[in-house]
Amino acid sequence: MNEYDSNRLADLLKKTGYERTKDLEDVDCYILNTCHIREKATEKVYHDIGRLKKKYKNKKKPTVFITGCVAQAENNEMLDREPYIDAVIGPQSYQNIPKIIQKIKKRKNKLNLTSFDVIEKFDRLNDIKNSSSKTSSFITIQEGCDKFCNFCVVPYTRGPEYSRSMKEIIKEANELVSNGVSEITLLGQNVNAYSFTDNSKVFKLSDLIFELENIKDLLRIRYTTSHPNDMTSDLIQCHKKSKKLVPFIHLPVQSGSNKVLKIMNRKHTREEYLAKINNLISVRPEIRFSSDFIVGYPGETEKDFNDTISLVKQIKFLNSFSFIYNKRPGTPTSKQNSINEYIQKKRLIVLQNLLSDIQIKENSDQVGKLKKVLVENKMKNQTSYFGRLENFTPVIIEKVTNSDIGKIINVRINNFNKNNLFGVKEHVESVVAA
């Protein structure tokens, strides 16, 4: 979501005469868009500002804004700790940035904009064209969270659940497709909680997907991140009926232990999660899943951890993320004692090795097969091109030309490593759907 937000900030600032630059030697305004999910990201902010201060020691100081969830969570504390920062701007206040830049130029005081005005934000951004032309691009359709898992900062930093209007999303999707985009990933902290009411009719994520399918040159649709409890029957059926929705879902489970799920306040059991997975497989047998896992949660025993391991073995998750539990200030679990750090690290290694073995086996099984790959871009300083399978696995492709970018082509897989598949384009086929 931060990648999407950063692109939209650049679109917003273009109107005020600012251009995005990769040249950090000569910037007028430096915006650091931050994530607050784990502590490491917060500390990175101060390190980055330290580097910037060194760079501009003998030059005119750039205006420095911290945006994103670290700004939201730490606001005045950041302004006090690092006087080099001119403003902290939370995720729901981005629409004010053009005005803030002018204000900062005129006066010396610092600004704190961390209110939750999500409607005002999207009202302003809806008027500004999304300029992204990457083959695979994002659209935020939902923000915030009402679920309050005991470990997570999102409900406090992104605020309550909010869904954008279908009309505005479809308009933005059309813009992207006319820029050359072939794949859209619909984003939200709980994207499948999407619910927009228009003239007393409620539109859900499945309704939105069916509408988006009508955009002719849009080839693939993804959505992330989903909560298992919002995987409703209409959305499951959508995976059966939709021609453009990829058969791949990121469905975070966090733990395979019912005891840990309960103390995390996830509001579902292992069995309920498995039932959703089985329903999805029954409507779309080739569907695959990725997940997020937290290991070493306060109270997690060896048996609880083994429950997670057995779930991973059962579902054979691909392309997943796993983290050691990280204490986040203000969350209910932060008051509890952490378990032994050595045990946490050991468990993470065991889980990551298992996920990696599954990925390697999956990748090796693809050798010799003909796979549909969406070509995204030419690789830097190489003749090869980069693309992805429907299940998100990266593929490095030979014998491709620039005219294949944005198309789904057939690729004969001839090699693999842990993270990538390698292959050669076999013949171009015009494919309408993923």
Kindly state whether residue 272 participates in binding ligand SAM, applying the rule CB under 6 A.
no
Amino acid at 246: V
Which stretch in 9-17, 40-48, 207-215, 321-329 sits in contact with ligand SAM by CB under 6 A? 321-329
Whose tokens are 């917060």? That residue is 42
Measured from the CB of residue 183, what is the shortest distance to ligand SAM in angstroms?
Answer: 21
Q: Which is nearer to ligand SAM, 27 or 350 (CB)?
A: 350
Q: Binding of ligand SAM at residue 37 (CB under 6 A)?
A: yes
The nearer residue to ligand SAM, 121 or 227, going by C-beta atoms, is 227
Choice between 154 and 173, CB closer to ligand SF4 = 154
Identified binder of ligand SAM from the candidate list 14, 38, 44, 268, rule CB under 6 A: 38
Nearer to ligand SF4, 332 or 394 (CB): 332
Smallest gap from Cβ 152 to ligand SF4, in A, equals: 3
Partner interacting with residue 328 (select from ligand SF4, ligand SAM, none; CB below 5-8 Å by kind)? ligand SAM
> Is the Cβ of residue 193 or residue 389 nearer to ligand SF4 in the bound state?
193
Residues that bind ligand SF4 (CB under 6 A): 145, 147-149, 152, 154-155, 189-190, 227
User: Whole-angstrom Cα distance, residue 113 to residue 72?
Assistant: 8
By CB under 6 A, how many residues form the interface with ligand SAM? Answer: 17
Q: Which of residues 243-262 bind ligand SAM (CB under 6 A)?
A: 252, 254
Q: State yes or no: residue 104 binds ligand SAM (CB under 6 A).
A: no
Candidate residues 292, 338, 378, 394; the one interacting with ligand SAM per rule CB under 6 A: 292
Contact between 227 and ligand SAM by CB under 6 A: the answer reads yes
Among 88-96, 172-180, 320-328, 338-346, the segment contacting ligand SAM (CB under 6 A): 320-328
2 near ligand SAM (CB under 6 A): no
Chain positions contacting ligand SAM, by CB under 6 A: 37-38, 151-152, 154, 189-190, 225, 227, 252, 254, 292, 294, 323, 325-326, 328
